[in-house]
Amino acid sequence: MKSSKKGVSFIGSLTLMLTLILFHSFFMDNISIRQLSMTFVYIIIALATDTYKGVFDLVERVWNINDNGDSPDEKFALIKSFLAINVTRWDKYNNLYDQIVEGKEGAGALKRYLMRIPKGVISLKQFIWILAYIVYSVFTPDLILVVSPAIDFLIDLGGLSFFLFTGSNVIGLREFMIDIFESVKTVDGKTVKQSLQLLESQIIYGSRQYGFLKNKINLKQEEK
């Protein structure tokens, strides 16, 4: 789940696509329409796929708030406010938060997918693949050995597989975030202290599953 902090934003991606369009108009023999289209497909998929950059920091911050010396009511209100502000970074989790905590209807799947694009970021690994594909496309006509359509097809298929894999869901993370949100719903039939204890237990469980907060969790267990 760990990811690089470097990436290309939506504006940077638009700049890259416009540059490719201008390049293609001046050097039509160096990159085909198919290769140009595939490059755009890679960029759009990279922007639209889920990223988990910051989830580690979010969970750690929630843990720290819950572990400080404030009163239960203050901690509960602060955690709920913090989550409400920060989950807007991920359209999927923002939608989950609205449905679970705020009781709002979520947007359709297609709308949610499209809304990820302007908020999306191309990761470093994805950008390296796109750049390598552009270099390959530009220099293909100048290669001494002619690249067969079969090789081109395999490269395109491999690229799509790579982007689908790097943008795939981390197994169980959605359910973990649902449990976190369920813990901070408006208190109904239980005390704030019970809600905070439930939240702590969910974070401990999620930490064991995904490997974050290991040092803090172990220290907490030793203290007990």
Quote the pLDDT of residue 52: 66
Does some domain include residue 194?
yes
Domain count, the chain: 2
Average pLDDT per run of 10 along the chain, which is 224 residues long? 63 87 72 85 83 76 85 90 85 81 72 74 86 83 67 86 74 85 77 88 84 66 55
Domain shared by 39 and 118, yes or no:
yes
Q: Do 43 and 12 lie in a common domain?
A: yes
Q: Say yes or no: 46 and 118 in one domain.
A: yes
Same domain, 179 and 213: yes
Q: Is residue 31 part of a domain?
A: yes
119 shares a domain with 90: no
- 214 and 182 in a common domain: yes
Do the domain assignments include residue 107? Answer: no
Please check whether residues 151 and 179 belong to one and the same domain.
no
Shared-domain flag, residues 174 and 219: yes
Are the CB atoms for 117 and 44 separated by under 8 Å?
yes
Look up tokens 């497909």; give the residue: 41
User: Is 2 within a domain?
Assistant: no
| Residue 103 forms part of a structural domain | no
| Contact indicator for 199, 66 with CB cutoff of 8 Å | yes
Write the CB contacts of 93 (distance below 8 Å, at least 6 apart in sequence).
Answer: 87, 177
Domain end among 166, 190, 206:
166
**Domain presence at residue 188:** yes
Using CB atoms within 10 Å of the CB of residue 128, give its burial: 0 to 12 exposed, 13 to 18 middle, 19+ buried. Answer: exposed
Range of the domain at 204: 55-94+170-223
Does residue 174 share a domain with residue 150?
no
CA distances to 36, 45, 172, 190, 210 from 18, in Å: 11, 17, 38, 55, 39
Q: Give a yes or no: residue 180 inside a domain.
A: yes
Last residue of a domain, one of 128, 151, 166: 166
Note whether 63 and 149 are same-domain residues.
Answer: no
Domain final residue pick, 125, 150, 166: 166
Task: For residues 123 and 209, state if they share a domain.
Answer: no
Q: Both 44 and 61 in a single domain?
A: no
- Confidence (pLDDT) at 3: 44
Residue 109 belongs to some domain of the structure: no
Give the whole-angstrom CA distance, residue 17 versus residue 11. Answer: 10
